[in-house]
Structure 1
Amino acid sequence: MLKLNIKNETSRLRAVVLGTAISNGPTPKMEEAYDPKSLEHIKAGTYPVETDMVKEMEAVAKVFEKYDVKVYRPEQVADYNQIFTRDIAFVIDDIFVKANILPDREKELDAIQYVIDQINPEKVIRPPEEVHIEGGDVMLWNDHIFIGTYKGGDYKDYITARTNIEGVAYIKELFPNKIVKEFDLVKSRIEPRDNALHLDCCFQPVGKNKGIIYKSGFREESDYMYLVNLFGNENLFHITREEMYHMNSNVFSISEDVVISERNFTRLNTWLRTNGFTVEEVPYAEISKQEGLLRCSTMPLIRD
């Protein structure tokens, strides 16, 4: 049996589901793109190729091996994108929540059924149909649960709006003892530099009390200020629009002092090292072309 335990983003990682890029399928057609960044690369003819993405993911698997983390990979589905495991489910405390993702991604959940079978079935839940919530929008910070959402009246018109207000209400009900705070995110179907697909595209805690943040990812300044007040401005690394586009806030913590980061994130990686972190640099620039990075392609199951 898997004894799930996730209380925050940075405690020592023991078990994780890492996506796979094998048999990722052909480059999508323009109308099949789920986000503006993929669309940009489909148009430009620079959409990532499978061999490169497989190499990038293997580099992450090697880092997990080095730190003795148990890694589960999805079972293979032919010609199908299975990179972003964070979208499909997430763990809060010892509860495994299946996300109500876009319907044509349902097979991604089936591919990790062998992992779900190792969890006490009473701890596995699926929200009702009207609840939309994806793991990239759900961030645990001890007594807090941060949730990215979109409050615009045109929610249904945005394929980039992934977590709705019903999703926030559902988590509040499920975890009445936690402080659940939602953040209204900026969305765009056409400009990836102005699209916070998930909360982890514009914010993520690192270490014990620090975080990476992109101010313009929040529709309301008060939401941004909430985090500034909680963490302290001096503990936040502010990223630029271009750094947000390259997904600088989407790193992944193995522990309070070890962070996996993209090797091109020079400014961020320098800041992390200056603040006492060990930075495990990996190539992940090809995967980032699909508007997802390290946090998006990992789903932690157990942290100490």
Structure 2
Amino acid sequence: MGKGSIFDADLLEADFSPQVFAYYFKQWEGFHMNFHQHDSTEIMYVIQGDCLVEWSGGAGKQRAVKLTKGEFILLDANVPHRLIVENTCRMLNVEFGFKMQSDGFPSIKQIAEEEETLRAMVSSPATYLMLQDPDEVYHALKSLVLELDNRLNDGGMLDRMLMSQLLIRISRLRRDAEKNGWQQADQYVKQSIEFLHQNYDRNILVKEIAAFVNLHPGYLQRIFRAQTGQTLMEYLTAVRMEKAKMLLLHTGIPVSDISDYVGAGSRQYFHALFKKHTGMTPIEFRNSMDTHRYLEMKK
């Protein structure tokens, strides 16, 4: 009896031991992989370059993350996924699962009794786990692969010890990432907001903002909305409307030119957008502000 998923609380109920099924280094060049899946958990570690890992999120939805040097993804078993490499990417991949064992070697269950981070990771259902490595995971991976090569991948005790050590290191990184995750996300959101405030006057695409902060567009959209309550485009529109109000109030720029100053597209679209956000047309807004200032001066 065996199991392919690391995110499985059943591993804490019986004595399962990790087992590596496949491992390889690979230099990818301009490659688009077809969707596939396997009954094992996969570690995809980027040594050089960058790539995109895309998978099915269910209900026909696609999810993806961008990986760069020193980043890796732990992808759950039986998840349809594919690799996309636009330029070049050197990777180390390890596919593994778990088998019942009775030889006295410490099982995942036994290790998790002392290592709370491993228990937390195993008992938390997930499709994937993406982490930045401070080099310790890569060193553990290389030690594991070297031992597997020496033993011709026959599942020796040291293989299992190294694999267990690797899982502990990953679980500790997961804990640290969770502690710091909000701070990291907050920094990405702040950088995105700065970009929007500095570039609102021109046409901006979500993928351009994501490239600026070096994140996948879908992931940036999620953390941005989680922290601001708005999508990137909703926030950008709000910035443009505030700039338009400032220009209408404090400058003599013709109303017909304001749309160009705030990057809001055609004059007709800008007028419709402005009225939606303020309840007035740009001309009505300027006139109402002029009237307000006149009345204030008369007091």
Range of TM-score over shorter length: under 0.3
Q: Which has the higher contact order (CA 8 A, sep 6+)?
A: 1
Larger radius of gyration: 2
TM-score (norm. length: structure 1): 0.25
TM-score (norm 2): 0.25
